């Protein structure tokens, strides 16, 4: 067990192992469903049908996926640099403030296609700035970024609650949220794309932010694997010592990576705020930042994997809502369990099945794992 892991073929490494981990997570979740006294297979069918059965379902699935692409990318960018950004939640939450300022100021004067770029910049900027302080403290003071970003989540929540029950709340209103945005800050829907395929959609919040998310996924791929900065980030993530030896500035790389991560987290807020609710309300992020951790781990930190994992989680969210409707014993909190199990099996226990799979590969085709065919002389 203490031997370094032998190489598996790429398809097994990036396809088979995540799938096995995912399957185990779902099997354990199935036991929870059993414990509640429902049929896990029927639950799975309802879930998938709810997410993909109808046009509206698909649109909702993609709407949720949009949010998770942003948070997943945010976690992944930091992770490539060896940093665990657990503060995606707070960065997205506080970015709502930037969006609120832009939208509340311009929604009556500008059309949406001018408000949108401004809001993108504002959300990215605020998210990046919220990540800057923990990044600086990590780089300069050595304070553990996990702890500081957790603390910043709570500080962000306090600030937002203070603002939303106070200064940002319109006079005379009881609800802790801003006033509703006017048409100048409402993003156009994308439902027509799904309708092209013949499906009918009643009303779903899928909007142009989805395209922005895909663009960002491409840009992140470009950044990580095709630029000098990305190379430096990966180097630092692999071995801070090697990076230092190569003359990469530790401070610069940590701060840059965290600010990009924060900016991506911040952009997540665009989707629910401008695309769906048209106001900034208390707790509008509602855990999406933490889902980002699961999505990034599931997608093995690669943008393509992240988009797929985000769609999977979007499916869980949308299908989960249908499931709660069909099986009252299983509320949407079931998703939280599945999320936790995915994080556990795809993240913390990602290597649990690896030795067995290696042994299996080795017994079938020793050369596929880079070994000679001699028994007992293995990796």
Partner 1 sequence: MDVFNAIVQTLDSTIRLSVPLLLACLAGLYSERAGIFDIGLEGKMLVGAFAGAAAASVFHSALLGLGMAILVSVAFAMVHGFASITHRGNQIVSGVAINFVAAGSTIILGQAWFQQGGRTPALQPGERFEAITWPGADAVRDVPIIGPIYAELISGHSLLVYLAFLMVPFTWWVLFRTRFGLRLRAVGENPAAVDTAGISVAWLRYRALICTGILTGVAGAYLSMVQNGGFVKDMTAGKGYIALAALIFAKWKPVNAMFACLLFGFLDALSIRLQGSPLPIIGKVPVQFMQALPYILTVVLLAGFIGKAIPPRAGGVPYVKER
Q: Which of 45, 101, 129, 155 binds partner 1 (CB under 8 A)?
A: 155
Total H helices, total E strands in the chain: 17, 0
Query: Does residue 161 belong to the site contacting partner 1 (CB under 8 A)?
Result: yes
Is residue 301 a contact partner of residue 76, using CB atoms and an 8 Å limit? yes
Q: Which of 290, 313, 317, 361 binds partner 1 (CB under 8 A)?
A: 290
In angstroms, give the least distance from the CB of 354 to partner 1.
10
Q: Which of 105, 109, 117, 144 binds partner 1 (CB under 8 A)?
A: 144
Query: Does residue 128 belong to the site contacting partner 1 (CB under 8 A)?
Result: no
Q: Which of 65, 77, 99, 335 binds partner 1 (CB under 8 A)?
A: 335
Is residue 70 a contact partner of residue 267, using CB atoms and an 8 Å limit? yes
Query: Does residue 297 belong to the site contacting partner 1 (CB under 8 A)?
Result: yes
As a whole number of angstroms, the distance between CA 270 and CA 256 comes to 22
By beta-carbon proximity to partner 1, the closer residue of 114 and 175 is: 175
Reference 87, options 237, 290, 273; nearest CA is: 290
Is residue 72 a contact partner of residue 295, using CB atoms and an 8 Å limit? yes
Query: Does residue 325 belong to the site contacting partner 1 (CB under 8 A)?
Result: no
Is residue 306 a contact partner of residue 69, using CB atoms and an 8 Å limit? yes
CA angle 341, 347, 352 (to 5 degrees): 90
Query: Does residue 41 belong to the site contacting partner 1 (CB under 8 A)?
Result: no
Record the tokens describing residue 65, joined without a space.
């996926």
Is residue 130 a contact partner of residue 91, using CB atoms and an 8 Å limit? yes
Query: Does residue 347 belong to the site contacting partner 1 (CB under 8 A)?
Result: yes
Query: Does residue 229 belong to the site contacting partner 1 (CB under 8 A)?
Result: no
In the chain the first and final C-alpha atoms are separated, in Å, by 10
- C-alpha distances (whole Å) from 54 to each of 195, 210, 322 are 11, 19, 12
As a whole number of angstroms, the distance between CA 70 and CA 263 comes to 9
Query: Does residue 245 belong to the site contacting partner 1 (CB under 8 A)?
Result: no
Query: Does residue 365 belong to the site contacting partner 1 (CB under 8 A)?
Result: no
In angstroms, give the least distance from the CB of 142 to partner 1.
8
Q: Which of 49, 331, 378, 379 binds partner 1 (CB under 8 A)?
A: 331
Q: Which of 23, 114, 147, 175 binds partner 1 (CB under 8 A)?
A: 147
Q: Which of 121, 146, 282, 357 binds partner 1 (CB under 8 A)?
A: 146
Query: Does residue 281 belong to the site contacting partner 1 (CB under 8 A)?
Result: no
Cβ atoms within 10 Å of 167's Cβ, excluding its own: 8
Radius of gyration of the chain (CA): 22
Residue 184 is given by DSSP the state G
Q: Which of 16, 125, 308, 337 binds partner 1 (CB under 8 A)?
A: 337
By beta-carbon proximity to partner 1, the closer residue of 37 and 198 is: 37
Footprint on this chain of partner 1 (rule: CB under 8 A): 2-4, 32, 35-37, 84, 86, 133, 137, 141, 143-144, 146-148, 150-152, 154-155, 158-159, 161-162, 166, 290, 293, 297, 329-331, 333-341, 343-344, 347-352
């Amino acid at each position: 067990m203490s031997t370094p892991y032998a190489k598996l073929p790429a398809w097994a490494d990036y396809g088979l192992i995540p799938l096995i981990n995912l399957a185990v997570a779902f099997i354990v979740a199935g036991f929870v469903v059993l414990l509640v006294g429902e049929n896990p297979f029927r639950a799975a069918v309802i879930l998938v049908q709810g997410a993909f059965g109808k046009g509206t379902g698909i649109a909702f699935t993609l709407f949720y996926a949009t949010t998770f692409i942003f948070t997943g990318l945010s976690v992944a960018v930091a992770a490539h640099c060896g940093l665990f950004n657990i503060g995606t939640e707070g960065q997205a939450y506080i970015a709502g403030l930037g969006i609120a300022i832009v939208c509340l100021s311009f929604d009556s004067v500008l059309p949406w296609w001018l408000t949108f770029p401004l809001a993108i910049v504002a959300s990215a900027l605020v998210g990046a700035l919220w990540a800057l302080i923990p990044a600086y403290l990590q780089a300069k003071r050595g304070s553990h970024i996990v702890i500081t970003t957790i603390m910043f989540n709570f500080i962000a929540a306090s600030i937002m609650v203070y603002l939303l029950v106070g200064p940002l709340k319109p006079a005379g209103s009881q609800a802790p949220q801003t006033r509703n945005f006017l048409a100048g800050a409402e993003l156009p829907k994308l439902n027509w794309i799904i309708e092209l395929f013949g499906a009918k959609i009643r009303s779903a919040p899928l909007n142009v932010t989805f395209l922005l998310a895909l663009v960002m996924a491409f840009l992140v791929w470009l950044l990580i694997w095709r630029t000098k900065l990305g190379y430096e980030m990966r180097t630092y993530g692999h071995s801070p010592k090697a990076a230092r030896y190569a003359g990469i500035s530790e401070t610069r790389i940590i701060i840059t990576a965290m600010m990009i991560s924060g900016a991506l987290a911040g952009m997540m807020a665009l989707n629910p705020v401008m695309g769906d609710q048209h106001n900034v309300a208390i707790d509008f992020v509602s855990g999406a930042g933490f889902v980002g951790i699961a999505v990034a781990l599931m997608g093995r930190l690669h943008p393509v994997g992240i988009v797929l994992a985000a769609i999977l989680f979007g499916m869980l969210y949308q299908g989960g809502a249908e499931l709660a409707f069909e099986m009252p014993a299983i509320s949407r909190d079931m998703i939280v369990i599945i999320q936790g199990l995915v994080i556990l099996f795809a993240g913390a226990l990602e290597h649990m099945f690896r030795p067995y799979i290696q042994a299996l590969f080795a017994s079938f085709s020793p050369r596929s794992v880079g070994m000679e065919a001699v028994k007992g002389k293995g990796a």
